[in-house]
Chain A
Amino acid sequence: MALSFKPIRPLLETGTSAASKWFSYIGLCLGVLLLLCSIQMYINIRQMVVEGNMRKNGFDYVPIAKNITTEALKNPEKTLFTQPEVDELKTQPFIQDAAPLIANQFRIQLSAGSLLSFETDFFIESLKEDFIDTVPPTFKWQEGQETIPIIFSSDFFEIYTVFSAGQKLPKIPRDAAVGFSFIVNCYGNGRQQQFIGKIVALSDRVNSVLVPESFLSWANQTFDQQKPLGASRVFIKTKDANDPHLLSFLDSKHYVINKEQTILGRNKMLLQGIVTGMGIFGLIVVVLALMLFSFYLQLIIARSKDNLKLLLTLGYSPSWMSKKVSNRFLPVYIFVVLVALLLTQAIQWLFYHYIMQDKPQLSPFVHWAVGATALALILLSLFTNYRMVKNQLYKLN
């Protein structure tokens, strides 16, 4: 038959005040609540900032350009990125990769054929496929192929929709845009050639008209034959577009990055600072509450010293007693942490629903890391109590 703690229990109930007990419970609950809320808010901020950018495989892909000043206008080459500058970008620790947007160096005209009286000069660009968010398998071109697959910017498509109404051009629904064809005429170097441009995908990330790199390098050589010019825009691949090191590096080089994509980052630092401060405060409260619990336990041990000493004299094992005495508080710890967790969940739901207006990047439920922290707190408090009680009992022995 297992050794029962039941006959031992009354030996420890020696004059502990209910008020001090509840005071420590409430203190612990508030501390845990602060800590859990801080972790959840930290995660919320991260999710809002990270999800705000165009991420692929956990990376941000953002275009940068050179700051165009009036002086630079006199010297247009200075607004373009040279190859050493692109290489320098690649060597930065906070930039995983960089790829220039290569533009056409010859004249391109786009028309809708005989169906519509629409003709315009246009531009195309190419970019390393890894940097494009939507690359269908049809985005390939080989010499001799008449059809050029095109990835069209979603933003440009929106502009067309607005523009088409005034120009009496047909409206094209977004779904039907993929598969839409038009005629592309290339001129230069005394030659002219007609191709069929076919939209194979829309891109939310790249504001351009993208063609396969193989086509543009062939076309630039065929219709221009001059030395390739630099790129006016370079896409960078980074773990965090809001990384302060990246932002200060770009500022020092007078490179321009999309302000909207980094404004959150600049605010993020401030917000994370506040939330971290809140978390540290919560942690201090938790430590204080745990200390209070520990003192409370020490008080019980001090008050029951004679009884505990006699139990050890009779042959009770100090480990067994430590386990039993510290486990007495397990239901209290679980209850306190569960209450704090439920309150955190309620706060998260209110935050999601009323403050963030059901923002899709956020979840109405607490993150798993918050639950894991709550569990870790229970285990930590049990472990520290067990160690403390055991040390005290060994001293009595």
Chain B
Amino acid sequence: MKYLRILSILIFIVISYASYVVVWGLHFPEDSPNIVYKRIGGSSAFRLNELQKRKDIDVLITGSSHAYRGIDSRYLEQKGIKTFNMGSSSQTPIQTKWLLKRHLDKLNPKLVILEVDPSIFRSDAIESSLDMVSNYPKVVSTLPLAWGHLKTFNTYIFSLYHAIFKSNEALKINWRDTYHIGGYVERKLSYYQVEEFQEERWDFNYDLFSELEETIDILKSKDINYVLVQAPLSPAFYFSHSNNQEFDDKINKLGTYYNYNDLMKWDNKTHFYDKQHLNTIGARRLTAAILQLKELP
């Protein structure tokens, strides 16, 4: 009897807690610091919806916005290479691994391009989990990404509510961006106004390197070829960091690695729209270089 009482109390608390989260999140979105439900303005919802439908591709691209804004899947498609760009906002190897576990068999790629970036490897992986929890169509399954952090957990509850009651607003992308089938996001052409950066070091979250190793192990276990690619950052920003070599050394150990910051010359103003992202001119240039990869099927 006592255990039944405790169980009913626990259930009551779980339900009332979830109700508070939903009611508060709906009525006071500006005053909900620990609900970060981002669907409008980003591109992940489009991409993750498309992901559910794609299968049997040649090249799969994973990584952060550097991947989905830097590698134009349309050019690869034009060359007859079926491509899907599975990148998402600040995607770390944690989310890459999670997505691969769910979709790798169906996508069945011949080559996986793992985009790696030192700025992502200093992340706490929260932003990308929030993106995934808010936008992944099968919300329930994102619980492992939501667990362990208040922001992601509350956002998960909120997202679950929207999924159950289908109360999402119509998806809209940022007015400056265009989402293209295949996952590439094109930013209206603009040019970076270069800033000055003080010399600093990347402060890495070393757990993410282990996550990357585990991700690679999944690919190896399925005999899927992969390359590691670092899309360029603006030279002003990238070369202001003193431990780029440390990052390169770590990644080099994990497989074939192309760091396009070093392999090609980039111009801050011509090829970027901000310190981290290529504009369409830069993206075309990087994609052309990717098309030269000998590993391409």
User: Do the two chains belong together in a single complex?
Assistant: no
List the interface of chain B (C-beta within 8 A of A): none
